[in-house]
Amino acid sequence: MTSTLDSGTVLAADTVGRPAVNISIFALFVVVTLAIVIRFSRNNRTATEFYAGGRAFSGRQNGIAISGDYLSAASFLGIAGAIALQGYDGFLYSIGFLVAWLVALLLVAELLRNTGRYTMADVLSFRLRQGPVRTAAAISTLTVSLFYLLAQMTGAGGLVNLLLGVKGTAWQNLTIAVVGVLMIVYVLVGGMKGTTWVQIIKAVLLVIGAALMTFWVLGKAGFNLSSVLGDAAAASPKGDAVLDPGVKYGATTTTKIDFVSLAMALVLGTAGLPHVLMRFYTVPNALQARRSVAWAIGIIGCFYLFTLVLGYGAMYLVGADKINAAPGKVNSAAPLLAFELGGTLLLGIIAAVAFATILAVVAGLTITASAFFVHDVYNSVLKKGTAAPDQEVRVARITAIVIGLVAIVGGILAKDQNVAFLVALAFAVTASANLPTILYSLFWKRFNTRGALWSIYGGLISAIVLIVFSPVVSGKADSASVIKDSSVDFHWFPLDNPGIVTIPLAFFLGWLGTVTSRERVDEAKYAEMEVRSLTGAGAERAEVPPPRTEQDVLPEPV
């Protein structure tokens, strides 16, 4: 395996470890989780059961599931890889991804839980005009979910080469299809309850795997972080620069502004991610929503600290050349490090965890997107709220199948494309289209329908337009854009990340739309919303008694 290091082409055709081991461990994961999903989801007839798991999860369970939902392949494989290749600049991502949770904790989670039922649109339409606002929120959510789904599915295809040792288009397509079908099964059978259990199991495996590798790397270095950093810098072709910020984003003023723009989208985007927001409705009350976020912050924070060590560890234990030469490139740093440390077995475990990661995130996105479609568009707008609960659930299941099929086809079509930007785009869209309207409607009494529509559509459209005319889509050298032919160049927006323009724009449009509209504030509705959001009076209850009582004091996670 290491003898072929010098010729990248030979290595690229190789696989690491034994595919049979990887596949077996992954199959074991699927069997175990499916059994659990079937065991725990006898009862998915009502909409609350299907979308919100009966609101019966405890804060700790939900916090672990949130981590499972949030720590996508992009954060596990992507950040470790980015640190391994670019050093400090990769670490910057994880900080944005973590600090963002404070927005959710302080401003969003509890108020949202008290006010809504299933989706963020419940909160937006609480005192604004239902039809247009729900439609706008559903459009932005479906867009974000599809971007995110596509990125995950394509990521799955890319990983296959490395981890399962399958070569050739047909096998890759088959793997994407298998991931898609599994995800549909989890969602259909398990609903939110089943999906949540998949995420809990996956999060536990992921954190244990990462912790194991972290202590292994640290142990090899005598538990001396400084020596890990020193060895990493010595092994890197970029030298000491990998310990400082700037390797990736420090080249010109434009790239520096681009980085600030990305940082803005990361910190403000998380609290608007639809699949994250939806998780707050699976707990019985605001207190458990608070517990959820606290647990999530603890787990996600520890995990990102692990990736710091894993990334620098891979930098010298694996080496940049080997990572770049491997199929899957930057994403292969963590699996290669696992192989370097623990051989075939550890690689198999980490590979299975990586697949489980994709599966769980994809299932979470699918159930979110179908909930938004059915609850906000089908029932609230088309049926004017008259759909019977079992009818709503039936349509939700059909929607989940359709979304799954779209994701499979999209994933297959886009598998050779560079779609990593879709995740960054999803964050830019949620930070621009979702967060401003959520904050305005919770905290600004005068906010009205026009403000919400201008903010959502303005944020959504401006983010997509700027991306289309950015270097991400056309004009980068070395085929780094989506359109690989560098002679096709229609970009005029200089930045890869539109957030620095679109987020302030969306806040501004929300204000402008509001002050130019003559819609009157509905005092009674506003009073109801504010009282509900802060006290929980009249908030949706759990359908079954929560597993733990209020008085049960959970240990603080941090």
Residues 6+ apart with CB under 8 A from 532: 114, 115, 538, 539
**131 in contact with another protein (CB under 8 A):** no
Instruction: Pick out residues in 194-223 that bind another protein (CB under 8 A).
Output: none
Binding residue for another protein (CB under 8 A) from 20, 28, 35, 106? 106
Buried b (16+ CB within 10 A) or exposed e, 127-147: bbebbbbbbbbbbbbbbbbbb
Contact at 8 Å (CB) between 346 and 18? no
**254 in contact with another protein (CB under 8 A):** no
**390 in contact with another protein (CB under 8 A):** no
Binding residue for another protein (CB under 8 A) from 19, 246, 342, 389? 246
Binding residue for another protein (CB under 8 A) from 56, 82, 105, 353? 105
How many beta carbons lie within 10 A of that of residue 225, not counting itself?
Answer: 12
**387 in contact with another protein (CB under 8 A):** no
What tokens appear for 315 in the block? 């930098």
**485 in contact with another protein (CB under 8 A):** no
Burial of 192 (0-12, 13-18, 19+ CB in 10 A): buried
**66 in contact with another protein (CB under 8 A):** no
Give 383 or 548: the residue with its C-beta nearer to another protein: 548
**544 in contact with another protein (CB under 8 A):** no
**447 in contact with another protein (CB under 8 A):** no
User: At 48, which amino acid appears?
Assistant: T
Contact at 8 Å (CB) between 514 and 450? yes
**256 in contact with another protein (CB under 8 A):** yes
User: Least distance (Å) from another protein to the CB of residue 395?
Assistant: 30
**298 in contact with another protein (CB under 8 A):** yes
Instruction: Pick out residues in 263-282 that bind another protein (CB under 8 A).
Output: 263, 267
Give 28 or 225: the residue with its C-beta nearer to another protein: 225
Binding residue for another protein (CB under 8 A) from 174, 212, 218, 243? 243
Binding residue for another protein (CB under 8 A) from 11, 56, 73, 98? 98
Give 301 or 411: the residue with its C-beta nearer to another protein: 301
How many amino acids of this chain bind another protein (CB under 8 A)?
Answer: 67
**542 in contact with another protein (CB under 8 A):** yes
Binding residue for another protein (CB under 8 A) from 131, 250, 342, 389? 250
At residue 67, φ and ψ (nearest 5 deg) are -60, -40
518: three-class secondary structure by DSSP: coil
Residues 6+ apart with CB under 8 A from 384: none
**523 in contact with another protein (CB under 8 A):** yes
**Whole-angstrom distance, CA of residue 161 vs CA of residue 147:** 23
Give 102 or 345: the residue with its C-beta nearer to another protein: 102
What tokens appear for 163 in the block? 């981890």
What tokens appear for 228 in the block? 């890990």
Instruction: Pick out residues in 30-49 that bind another protein (CB under 8 A).
Output: none
Contact at 8 Å (CB) between 354 and 30? no
**293 in contact with another protein (CB under 8 A):** yes
List the one residue out of 501, 471, 495, 476 whose CA is nearest residue 487.
476
Give 189 or 243: the residue with its C-beta nearer to another protein: 243
User: Least distance (Å) from another protein to the CB of residue 531?
Assistant: 5
Binding residue for another protein (CB under 8 A) from 35, 225, 413, 465? 225
DSSP 112-179: HHHH-SSSHHHHHTSSS-HHHHHHHHHHHHHHHHHHHHHHHHHHHHHHHHHHH---SHHHHHHHHHHH
Percent composition of the chain: helix, strand, coil (DSSP 3-state, to 5): 75, 0, 25
How many beta carbons lie within 10 A of that of residue 512, not counting itself?
Answer: 15
Residue span binding another protein (CB under 8 A) among the ranges 30-38, 132-140, 244-252, 482-490: 244-252
Residue span binding another protein (CB under 8 A) among the ranges 23-31, 106-114, 161-169, 203-211: 106-114
Alpha helices (H) along 430-522: 435-443, 449-468, 499-516
| Interface ranges with another protein (CB under 8 A) | 88, 91-92, 95-96, 98-99, 101-103, 105-107, 110, 225-227, 229-230, 233, 243-246, 249-250, 256-257, 259-260, 263, 267, 284-287, 290-291, 293-294, 297-298, 301, 304-305, 445-446, 521, 523-524, 527-528, 530-532, 534-538, 541-542, 546, 549-550, 556, 558
